[in-house]
Amino acid sequence: MSSDSLRHRLRAALPVALKARDRTAVAALRSTLAAIDNAEAVGAGVTTRGLAIEESPVGAGATEVERRLLTEEQVRDVVVAEVAERRAAAEEYERAGRTDRAELFRAEAAVLDAHLDDCP
């Protein structure tokens, strides 16, 4: 992971937002970083079920597998999806007459958009 990667910029922005007590940015950054982490989780296809006892892993950490590592493009795709989700939620809240919630989701989308704009 290069120091100027999107993931690195998002992680670096989180403590800044925390220090500034910017709740909107903190919420957007935390949930997006969690979405990236979730995307790197090993899929449901990895299992040890069905193995004979003698083939079963034994010992501490024996069943652990390495997480996937997303490319910069895949990380960008996750962030773009997070922005799209927030915009869709804002539209739903707007239709329901909850303009306050709609504005909150639009503000979160803007926080993430700013980081996407910094992408090469």
Residue 46, pLDDT > 60, answer: no
Amino acid 48: pLDDT: 52
Neighbours of 40 (CB within 10 A): 15
What pLDDT is stored for residue 73 in this prediction? 95
pLDDT tens digits, one per residue of 73-82: 999 999 999 9
**Cβ distance 4 to 20 under 8 Å?**
no
Q: Above pLDDT 90, what percent of the chain?
A: 68
Predicted local distance difference test score (pLDDT) of residue 24: 97
Q: Which residues contact 18 (CB under 8 A, 6 or more apart)?
A: 26
- Which one, of 42, 27, 41, 36, lies nearest residue 6 by Cα? 36
**CA-wise closest residue to 92 among 83, 82, 105, 79:** 105
Distances (CA, A) of 24 to 29, 32, 45, 106, 116: 9, 12, 36, 10, 17
> Would you state the structure tokens that stand for residue 18, as one six-digit string?
């925390």
Q: What pLDDT score does 113 carry?
A: 95
pLDDT above 60: residue 2: no
Taken in order of first residue, the domains within the chain and their CATH numbers are 6-42+68-117 (1.10.1510.10)
Residue of 114 and 4 predicted with greater confidence: 114
